[in-house]
Amino acid sequence: WLRRDYGLGITIIPPLWHRHAELRWELSALHTAWLAAYDPEAHAGSPITWHRELAEAKHRLHEWVSQSGTSLTEDRPTPVTLWPGEAGFGAEQTWKDAANPTPITDRNADFQAWMADDVARRRAVEARASADLRAPMLGRHMLHRDAGRAE
């Protein structure tokens, strides 16, 4: 809705914005601020404050989109400089992914696939964390159960 209601062009919100963490974070912050600004309990001036925040966010979004070089028809990942000690540091950092952009053929299909992958990844992380939390408890349970048999 934001892109359509405010006529935001591709240099502010590109088709594959979901593939860029910095854009996701900024848009998430805008959404959270919008929810607070339009809450029934919000101060009467909150919506205009949100619009000031939107104006500032548009500048940041534009800068980040410009850095990646993503466009209406091609997506390029945001370049990240490697630091000393990181894998690949010292090698020629030519942004191979940026040199070989991904063509955008079906934005909706890409978004749906990306979301499905993201949800699956988050569920896997959650399952591992739950298993890690349960492991010590299972170990104690087994100790008490085995101790009972030994007696």
The model's pLDDT over 56-79, given as tens digits with 9 standing for 90+, comes to 999 999 999 999 889 999 999 888
The whole-number pLDDT of residue 15 equals: 97
The whole-number pLDDT of residue 150 equals: 45
SS3 content of the chain, % helix, strand, coil (to 5): 65, 5, 35
Q: Does the pLDDT at position 91 exceed 80?
A: no
Give the span between the Cα atoms of 19 and 75, in whole angstroms.
9
Q: Does the pLDDT at position 16 exceed 90?
A: yes
Stated pTM of the model: 0.77
Alpha helices in 69-106 (DSSP H): 96-99
Structure tokens at 53: 């925040």
Alpha helices in 2-106 (DSSP H): 2-5, 21-37, 46-68, 96-99
